[in-house]
Structure 1
Amino acid sequence: FRKMLREGKLDAQEIEVEVSAPKGGVEIMAPAGMEEMTNQLRDMFSNMASGKTSTRRVTVPEAQRLLTDDEAAKLVNEEEVRTLALERVQSGGIVFIDEIDKVAVRSGTQQGSDVSREGVQRDLLPLVEGSNVSTRYGVVKTDHILFIASGAFHLSKPSDLIPELQGRLPIRVELEALSAADLVRILQEPENALVRQYSALLASDGLTLHFTQDGVQRIAEIAQQVNERVENIGARRLHTVMERLLEEVAFVAPDGGTTALEVDAAYVDSRLKDLAQDEDLSRYIL
């Protein structure tokens, strides 16, 4: 029997297994200052389902997975894991706030939306200063959590934030724009790099796509040029450039007219050079 199980001869058989019933998550909202009572109520409701089991009829491979997960869950002390996680996040946690410039109030302007932006900043202020935040895993103290905020600040500047928030974010770092060399690395090095994505996409239609090094370099240079002349949107420009470069190929590839294509510098120039030099066209197309 065990030999048949190991060889997979029983995979098509269905059996009944008894596994622990999943715990139902209960969300309880309470006013500030009652976090401890909220946690106690949440634990009480979650423990009501503990010890209950359910019977399921599944195939043998699925039963093996369910029983393995069930036994592994019994080896984990959830309370100990929760306590350790809270300690770590309170002592070495990092919170990254992206696009902080979207809540900055531009100097010299005062509109209805600016009032709500300032309200968001004031809501963030106690978190950055240090306060107790109620979560589903317990109360988190933010006194020793590192807060990092970033923003493009095209239409505003860091000094447009309220003074109290500026004082809680004292270290400012200005990043340089991405160079052509940076864009080349972005095109090639990530696991899901754009050149790999487009190669795999067109390979599904029977087209073998090969990017030469000078072709990748030329794509990066055109993306950098358009960023400098039109608007600097960083690596996002590579998506629009690649889409425009391979638009026609992707359209005709399912017809099977071409089985291989080499994307070199000459091919990139033939498709994008004139378009990239026309600022009006590149503003709306690239």
Structure 2
Amino acid sequence: MEDLTPREIVKHLDNYIIGQNKAKKAVAIALRNRWRRRRLPSELRDEVLPKNIIMIGPTGVGKTEIARRLAKLVKAPFVKVEASKFTEVGYVGRDVESMVRDLTEIAISMVKKEHTDRVYEKAKYLAEERVIDLLLPPRSRKRDVEAKEEYKKTREKFREKLRRGDLDSRMVEIDVKEKVMPFGIVSNIGLEEMEINLKEMLGNLLPEKMKRKKVKVSDALVMLTEEEANKLIDMDKIVKEAIERTEQSGILFIDEIDKIASRGSGVGPDVSREGVQR
């Protein structure tokens, strides 16, 4: 982001969206202003808040695509929500704070993937070691030097076969962690937010049960690589970085804002047929 000028950002967007030069210029300048804001001292940063941008146009001209491509360019969390979902007729709409929560969850997934990619090679090597242990169980420690060297060579041969895919169809038994839900959470109209919050609160408190499964070597390698990667990354650091990224560079795209914009004065019989916002 530091190397991108508004002109370069517009040029990048030109590769995906036809026309809409004013919109491209507006979002490019807004993005550059965010970069300038991040360089301010912390005591001044809170005084300079990013502005909202209203893009008006018919369906299919590229409003959503501009925001989506911009977020992808700078690796910023992006979420699109429909304004009508928060003021639906007949019942109280969704909690507006869920927009930011959804944006934060996307940021956590993004940052976690980045951290996982950094440790992927090491995690894959550790997973290979575990699979080889299953295929070629370690022998007794009381062996001579020649036997140890022979065992080491055999393991390397198994590793080569494993990487070539020669052992993919063989079956192995591995222990898989699964969380046990002590009771069911029933969803109901108006309680969907409570359901999400309960699952989030209980997610880390639920007991983990080890279940032994018989799977193919190829599947075991994927599952064990993911397990080893989760051991190598620091979730506290990931969450902290994700929250900062949401605050500083998150893009929240609110669609269908025109459908909730009222033309009247808010009085009269038509008020009862309008949605209620929480």
Q: Give TM-score, length-normalised by structure 2.
A: 0.32
Q: Which has the higher contact order (CA 8 A, sep 6+)?
A: 2
Larger Rg: 1
